[in-house]
Every structure is written in structure tokens, then in C-alpha cells.
Amino acid sequence: MAEADGARRKVTIREVMRMKAEGRKVVVVTAYDVLFARLVDSAGVDIVLVGDSVGNVVAGFDTTLPVTIDHMIYHGAAVRRGVQRALLVVDMPFLSYQASEESAILNCGRVMQETGADAVKVEGGSTEMARTVAALTRIGIPVMAHLGFTPQSIRTMGMRVQGRDAADADRMVEQAQALEAAGAFSLVVELVPAALAARITDAVSIPTIGIGAGPGCDGQVLVLPDLLGLNEGFAPKFLKRYAELAGTVRDAVGDYAKEVRAGEYPRADHSS
């Protein structure tokens, strides 16, 4: 982490790219509101991602497909108010960048303007997507790309490990190289075999950020409620929980309810 530098220097795109060259792992976590944004930023992560996973973990949708640009702007702006040091990336939702280069430029530009994000993230590795990434980076919008399982394509891909067969794996390596050539500054690699993630990492000079992709990537990303143990039903093999906050929250609220019902809270010394 840039924290190792000792300073509270703001993380830049250049710094994130230098981390790969210097063999320093890039730490990425999602956030969706100002309270957690402040906490993860002060914990010293390198990148805060306002993921469209907000649709799953905050709004309770089954997929990310219903998430809109307005949702991303609302959450992106809230997170911006809590992040001072980390690089802030806002995810572009389904349909906001796939239809044409022009709509991608207008929508990504709007998200940058209205959230104060440092960069946007888009999913996919088609030739058209590489062209879109080139169009965005040409006008000064930094892009984090995303390959492997791309949740906005869940209806066609299903939620499963990608790149298991040799042809798919070769195609993914080529797509990663095309996205780098188009100007992407980093690449999320989601749900692919560890050996393929390591191969992609070797094939590009931009940092790869893995999730469910093994230890061979240049960095890792986790969805914050998952790593904090707040998302009780969700336990994929790749996930490590660093806390069990669901139980802590339930116990605290249960204690509060018990004390209110028993007339034990508030006491006289809680009153003004």
C-alpha cells in the first residue's frame, strides 16, 4: 500500500501503475456511503471502488442489472465525501456505456463530473469495448477495465468461473492486452482459474486486480459487506471474512431493544 510510504499522499493513477512495476500489491475495496468510505480510506486502502454491487448488497437486487446512473452518482458522491487519500473509482452501470462510444463518453463524463471520481470502471473485453476504452482515455477519462466473470452479463454467462477452456483463456489474454493498448490503467479479473489470472498478469504491464482469481494478481478487491461478514448468506469459496459484523450488529440492536423495553435506557444521565 502507498501507506508504506509513510505519507498521507493522495493515491494517483500513476502511483497505482508504479505499484505493479515495484511489486507492491494494490489493495482495493468497495464502499457505498460516506461512513464506510471514511473508515476504509483511513485504513489505508489504495483504491475505493463504488461498485455496481451496490445493487446487490445495498439495494437487495438479485443482479446488478437494475442499477442506474443516478444510483451510481448518488453513492459515488457520498463516497467522494469520505475519501481523501485513496483513488476513487466509480463503476458504470449496465446500459450506460455499451450502446455507443458517444453514450459512453457522455455518461462516463457525467459520472466523473457529478461524483468527483478519479476514474470509472467498465466491464467486457470485446473489440467494441476496447474501442470505447480508447475513446474514453483519449478525452481524459481514466478507465479500470473488468474481465472474466462480468456481472452485467450474468444472463448470458451465468455466475461461473470463466476461461476454463484453452480457447477462452487465450481470448481473455488477448482481450487484456487490447484493453491495455486502449489505455486502461488497471484490470479487474473476476472468477477465473488462478493460473489464467497469473498468465494475464504476466501478459500486461497494467496492474491486475483479482477477485476469485487466486494470488497471482497484482492486487485484490473484495466487496466490503462480504469481507466484514455483514452479508450473511454469501459464502463463495474465494471469500475470506475479516470480521463477523452481522452478529455484532444484531447483538447491539437486540441489547438496545431489551433495554428500551425494560425502561433501562435512557437513564437520567443520558438526558440533558
The answer to whether 45 and 89 have CB atoms below 8 angstroms apart is no
Torsion from C-alpha of 105, 208, 232, 63, nearest 10 degrees:
30
30 makes contact with ligand KIV (CB under 6 A): yes
The helix/strand count (H/E) of the chain reads as 11, 8
Rule CB under 6 A: choose which of 182, 223, 227, 228 binds ligand KIV: 223
The active-site residue, picked from 190, 232, 244, 259, is: 190
Cβ closer to ligand KIV: 51 or 124?
Answer: 51
Binding mask 175-194 for ligand KIV (x = CB under 6 A): -------------x------
Query: CB of residue 188 vs ligand KIV: minimum separation in angstroms?
Result: 5
Cβ closer to ligand KIV: 240 or 261?
Answer: 240
Residue 264 known to be catalytic: no
Q: 229-262 burial, b if ≥16 CB within 10 A, otherwise e? A: bbbeeeeeeeeebeeebbeeeeeeeeeeeeeeee
| Segment near ligand KIV (CB under 6 A); pick from 44-52, 175-183, 198-206, 253-261 | 44-52
Region of 205 on the Ramachandran plot (φ > 0 left; ψ -120 to 50 alpha; else beta): alpha
Cβ closer to ligand KIV: 180 or 226?
Answer: 226
The answer to whether 66 and 60 have CB atoms below 8 angstroms apart is no
255, three cell numbers: 441489547
Alpha-carbon distance of 56 to 66, in angstroms, equals: 10
Query: CB of residue 236 vs ligand KIV: minimum separation in angstroms?
Result: 11
Cβ closer to ligand KIV: 221 or 252?
Answer: 221
27, three cell numbers: 489493495
CA distances to 1, 79, 91, 136, 251 from 83, rounded to whole Å, are: 16, 6, 16, 24, 29
The answer to whether 72 and 92 have CB atoms below 8 angstroms apart is yes
Rule CB under 6 A: choose which of 16, 36, 40, 51 binds ligand KIV: 51
Question: What element of type H or E holds 210?
Answer: strand 208-211
Query: CB of residue 154 vs ligand KIV: minimum separation in angstroms?
Result: 12
Cβ closer to ligand KIV: 180 or 190?
Answer: 190
218 makes contact with ligand KIV (CB under 6 A): no
| Segment near ligand KIV (CB under 6 A); pick from 47-55, 93-101, 241-249, 253-261 | 47-55
Query: CB of residue 91 vs ligand KIV: minimum separation in angstroms?
Result: 5
Cβ closer to ligand KIV: 71 or 199?
Answer: 71
Strands 26-30 and 119-121: unpaired
Contact set for ligand KIV, span 66-95 (CB under 6 A): 91
Binding mask 193-212 for ligand KIV (x = CB under 6 A): ------------------x-
Query: Which residues are catalytic, by number?
Result: 190
Q: Which residues lie near ligand KIV (CB under 6 A)? A: 30, 49, 51-53, 91, 188, 211, 221, 223
